[in-house]
Amino acid sequence: MVLRHIPIREAILGAAILVLLGVVSTRYSGFIAPANLANVFNDTAPLIILALGQMVVILTRCIDLSVAANLALTGMVVAMLNVAMPGLPIPVILAIAILLGAVMGAINGLLVWKLAIPPIVVTLGTMTIFRGIIFLISEGKWINAHEMSAAFTGFSRAAFLGLPVLSWIAIVTVIVFGMMMSRTALGRSIFAVGGNPHAAVYTGINVGKTQFLAFVLSGALAGLTGYLWVARYAVAYVDIARGFELEVVAACVIGGISIAGGIGSVGGAVLGALFLGVVKNALPVVNISPFWQLAISGSAILIAVAFNARAGRSQGRVILKSAEGSV
């Protein structure tokens, strides 16, 4: 009875991260110093924010492959705005980034909602279109640190209560999404649409509209991350975050979010992202070449899916047993 109330996937994933940290600390004890862990968290913050948006989309049985391209395009636009108008206040830049990202998400969402085009096709298309637009507006040029204003690049690195703003934004996003998924009608309808779209229709939920809203959320977060990313690394170019969309999906999958929709949690997505972040940061520390990173995250995905599928199956068996026992 007690065991049933512990989210087993999150617990195991959390334990895996702790074991990983423990193993790394035997090679280099400085890795688990609070300051270094804060660095690892800050490094992983963009992945956490994007994974939350992707989680919402995957929960509604869709997938958003355009997040990295959306991030890169928004990042380029705000960087160019900053070059053109260095005096633009940061809140305005933030609003523009979120709005622009949300508009791109809305394009995905509308194509999925109104024209019923499969999400993987839509986002595959918009991914290539967004990347191409970055080249068109930037003419392939880089925007470097010396062209950006100090306020623009300083915002995401500014320390507040010992943590950079970037980390705080990730924490706030996690809290907001935690509240949204568990306490609001939108959160409930997102789970309902993914769990059983036909049943959702009969309870008065508009499936297409919910999927549209999920894409808008994912896009808005991608736009927000676009600004933070460009500000943090103080450079904007066409290929920013190329291939990152799959890392975001990977974080969700490792976090136990079912690609078939309806199953997953905010905690899972965050832990999945943290797992990848710890692996990425730990490799150089324990003297493994970073070339191993891809192979390790690939294996982690396979193990996580295999484990999740198994966990789901054994759960079914347990229910059956207790039913037999009661008869």
Partner 1 sequence: MSDTTMTARYVPNRLNNRAHRVLRSWEALLLVVAVGVFVLNSFASPYFLNVWNLSDATYNFTEKGMIAFAMALLIISGEIDLSVASIIALASTAMGLAAQYGAGTPELVMIGLTVGLLCGAFNAFFVTVLGLPSIVVTIGTMSLFRGISYIVLGDGAYGGYPDSFAWFGQGYIYWVFTAEIAIFAVIAVIYGVVLHKTNFGRAVYAIGNNPTGALFSGIRVQRVKFILFLLTGLMSGVAAICLTSRLGSTRPSIAAGMELSVVTMVVLGGINILGGSGSIPGVVIAAFVMGLVTFGLGLLNVPGIVMSIFIGLLLIGVIALPRLWLMIAAKKRSA
Provide DSSP, 231-275: HHHT-B-TTTTTTHHHHHHHHHHHTT--TTSS---HHHHHHHHHH
Q: Does 19 bind partner 1 (CB under 8 A)?
A: no
Nearer to partner 1, 2 or 115 (CB): 115
Instruction: Name the minimum Å distance from CB 57 to partner 1.
Output: 14
The DSSP element (H or E) to which 45 belongs, if any, is helix 34-59
Binder among 306, 311, 318, 320 for partner 1 (CB under 8 A): 306
Nearer to partner 1, 289 or 326 (CB): 289
Task: Pick out residues in 82-121 that bind partner 1 (CB under 8 A).
Answer: 111, 115-118, 120-121
Q: Does 309 bind partner 1 (CB under 8 A)?
A: yes
Provide DSSP, 119-156: HHHHHHHHHHHHHHHHHHHHTT--B-GGGS-HHHHHGG
Distance CA 237, CA 196 (A): 41
Binder among 184, 203, 299, 315 for partner 1 (CB under 8 A): 299
Distance CA 238, CA 26 (A): 40
Instruction: Name the minimum Å distance from CB 100 to partner 1.
Output: 18
Nearer to partner 1, 1 or 115 (CB): 115
Nearer to partner 1, 14 or 125 (CB): 125
Nearer to partner 1, 122 or 228 (CB): 122
Instruction: Name the minimum Å distance from CB 293 to partner 1.
Output: 7
Q: Which residues contact 295 (CB under 8 A, 6 or more apart)?
A: none
Is 271 in contact with 73 (CB distance < 8 Å)? no
Nearer to partner 1, 187 or 261 (CB): 261
Tokens of 281: 């940061």
Dihedral, 215, 73, 259, 246 alpha carbons, nearest 10: -170
Nearer to partner 1, 18 or 121 (CB): 121
Binder among 35, 295, 319, 327 for partner 1 (CB under 8 A): 295
Instruction: Name the minimum Å distance from CB 318 to partner 1.
Output: 19
Residue type, 53: G
Distance CA 112, CA 256 (A): 25
Tell me how many residues contact partner 1 (CB under 8 A).
46
Is 68 in contact with 129 (CB distance < 8 Å)? no
Q: Does 175 bind partner 1 (CB under 8 A)?
A: no
Task: Pick out residues in 216-235 that bind partner 1 (CB under 8 A).
Answer: none
Nearer to partner 1, 202 or 291 (CB): 291
What string marks each residue from 122 to 161 as x (binds partner 1 by CB under 8 A) or -? x-xxxxxx-xxxxxx---x---------------------
What string marks each residue from 247 to 266 as x (binds partner 1 by CB under 8 A) or -? --xx--x-----xx------
Nearest to 67 by CA among 311, 251, 209, 202: 251
Classify the phi-psi angles of 100: left when phi > 0, otherwise alpha if psi is within -120 to 50, otherwise beta: alpha
Q: Which residues contact 7 (CB under 8 A, 6 or more apart)?
A: 265, 267, 268
The residue ranges that bind partner 1 (CB under 8 A) are: 63, 111, 115-118, 120-122, 124-129, 131-136, 140, 238, 243, 246, 249-250, 253, 259-260, 289, 291-302, 305-306, 309
